[in-house]
Structure 1
Amino acid sequence: MWDIWDSIQNNEYFSFEGLVEVFKQLRYYKTPDIETPSYLVLKKAANYEVRKYPPFAVAEAKGEKLTGSSGFNNVTGYIFGKNASSEKIAMTTPVFTQASDDKLSDVSIQIALPMNKDLNSLPAPNTEAVTLRKVEGGIAAVKKFSGRPEEEIVAKKEKELRSQLLKDGLKPQQGCMLARYNDPSTKDFVKRNEVLIWLNDFTLE
């Protein structure tokens, strides 16, 4: 069984390894005070955590790359009133970009819609560039990091996370998601970014 102290081989006495782990857990990330998809943390390992997400709805458009903004104006336009009823929908965080292939090249950009909304109560988009769909939720492994989420950095984080999951005997699905919680004006060192990989057949030990 593994928990928040997994990276400490022996925590019965003070060690440099333990001190490093404490500082990791105390690292500050700025999360905007707006709605975000709910989740339950099932497990915490040294370098990632495992979460359970319930289903949620998203507005989605075609993206270009994981760290890109292509399609962002389309999905934000939808929630700001460019829809069949001109309804303004509350902004949420994070902005998701999802790569559905192992080369991380087949990308979409998504904004989660408020939890009190479902597909039946949402107005239709005004453009074919935006689609509404239900994310089924499930179990995801998540690696959190700060700084500017550049493409090379995200690819490295995804590779590190996938490698660790396989080492731990878990079953990561193909592709990944990048979650960006902050607007560009936020200082890089407190930005909250996450790489998520959905898992198959996860069970608590």
Structure 2
Amino acid sequence: MALMCSASPRPPRAIGARGRRPARTAVAADARATGAAEARASLVLALAAQALAASQQRAADLITEAVKYAFPSRRFEARSLEEALMSVPDLETVPFRVLKREAEYEIREVESYYVAETTMPGRTGFDFNGSSQSFNVLASYLFGKNMASEQMEMTTPVFIRNGEPSGEKMDMTTPVITKKSDDGNKWKMSFVMPSKYGSDLPLPKDPSVTIKEVPTKIVAVAAFSGLVTDDDISQRESRLREALQKDTQFQVKNDSMMEIAQYNPPFTLPFSRRNEIALEVKRA
């Protein structure tokens, strides 16, 4: 009789590299990869949102500055119809108080302020190319071409100086200032710096830009509108000096050099521009 042998049960097959557990490992790896991709995507989106917010802020800042130009202030008291038509941007400017007002000029006590200054090319103070080059150099410093890469606010006026007053100290709101150098052949243009910096202004990257502190002083100022030319300025300086000869309270300082302040952007209509010519004076 044949013996019936029951087959012994097979031992369970070892789970090898191709079993179920490796499948679970692959799923975990896929999950990690997905998580990393999501993290990268989140980072990209966050950076994009940050860049968008920054660009929106810059756009908002530009709009704010444009509004200041579009809706100018009337901070100066008008003495004539010509002055009544003048307007200046609603920007920070050099602080002063009026000591005396005459028909042809007013006497101001100006507080100290800092400027960024550069020498202008050419022999005239109001040559278009020279003025444009100097303006661009100073604007570049103001808008970030400095050691701190900091963008500063526009101020007013821009000054153009004729000569180098001996009372200025070498160190750094708005006009643009233009002045003439000691040798009489070069003019200098200056931007007034925002007062919040004081003497802690960032150093310029451009070696042609100098930082100076202008000390407190008393000046005689005559305002006028229109475009500025060298011949016009020469005539206005002569008239101002003649008028001050009759003043019994203030007289022109011996070393006083002419200074011109311009308050408006280039697109301003000539009749609404505010320009000023100034001479430093002392009490008689």
Q: What TM-score comes out, normalization by structure 1 length?
A: 0.81
Matched-pair contact (CA < 8 Å) for 2:83–2:223? no
The answer for the alignment partner of 1:58 in structure 2 is: 115
Shift of 1:167: 2.6
Root-mean-square deviation (CA), in Å?
Answer: 2.2
Alpha carbons of 1:23 and 1:138: their partners in 2 closer, same or farther (altered >3 Å)? Answer: closer
Partner-residue secondary structure (3-state), 2:226:
coil
Alpha carbons of 1:106 and 1:88: their partners in 2 closer, same or farther (altered >3 Å)? Answer: same
- The runs of 5 or more residues in structure 1 that have no matched partner are 1-20
Distance 1:53 1:26 in 2: 20
Matched-pair contact (CA < 8 Å) for 2:83–2:224? no
Matched-pair contact (CA < 8 Å) for 2:160–2:259? yes
Shift of 1:196: 0.7
**Superposed CA offset, 1:79-125 (max 9, x none):** 01000010001110110000116996442100000111222x11100
Among 137, 140, 143, the alignment partner of 2:216 is 137
Among 64, 67, 76, the alignment partner of 2:126 is 67
Matched-pair contact (CA < 8 Å) for 1:97–1:179? yes
Alpha carbons of 1:38 and 1:126: their partners in 2 closer, same or farther (altered >3 Å)? Answer: same
Shift of 1:43: 0.3
Distance 1:25 1:128 in 2: 40
Shift of 1:158: 1.0
Distance 1:178 1:81 in 2: 26
Shift of 1:27: 2.5
Partner-residue secondary structure (3-state), 1:81:
coil
The answer for the alignment partner of 1:90 in structure 2 is: 153
Amino acid at match of 1:115: S
Distance 2:218 2:79 in 1: 26
Shift of 1:22: 6.7
**Superposed CA offset, 1:28-58 (max 9, x none):** 2111111111110110001000000010000
The answer for the alignment partner of 1:181 in structure 2 is: 263
Distance 2:186 2:95 in 1: 26
Larger Rg: 2
User: Could you list the runs of 4 or more consecutive aligned residues of structure 1 that deviate by over 3 angstroms after TM superposition?
Assistant: 21-26, 101-106
Distance 2:117 2:191 in 1: 7
Amino acid at match of 1:78: Y
Matched-pair contact (CA < 8 Å) for 2:79–2:103? no
Are 2:245 and 1:171 aligned?
no
Between the two proteins, what is the percent identity of the paired residues? 33
The 10-residue stretch of structure 1 (100-109 or 41-50) with the greater mean CA deviation from structure 2: 100-109
Q: What TM-score comes out, normalization by structure 2 length?
A: 0.59
Partner-residue secondary structure (3-state), 1:167:
coil
Shift of 1:151: 1.3
Among 95, 98, 116, the alignment partner of 1:38 is 95
Matched-pair contact (CA < 8 Å) for 2:145–2:205? yes
Task: Give the number of the structure with larger relative contact order, counting CA–CA contacts within 8 Å between residues 6 or more apart.
Answer: 1
- The runs of 5 or more residues in structure 2 that have no matched partner are 1-77, 164-179
Alpha carbons of 1:194 and 1:22: their partners in 2 closer, same or farther (altered >3 Å)? Answer: closer
Distance 2:89 2:205 in 1: 28
Are 2:172 and 1:113 aligned?
no
Distance 1:139 1:57 in 2: 16
Among 185, 188, 205, the alignment partner of 1:126 is 205
Distance 1:109 1:82 in 2: 17
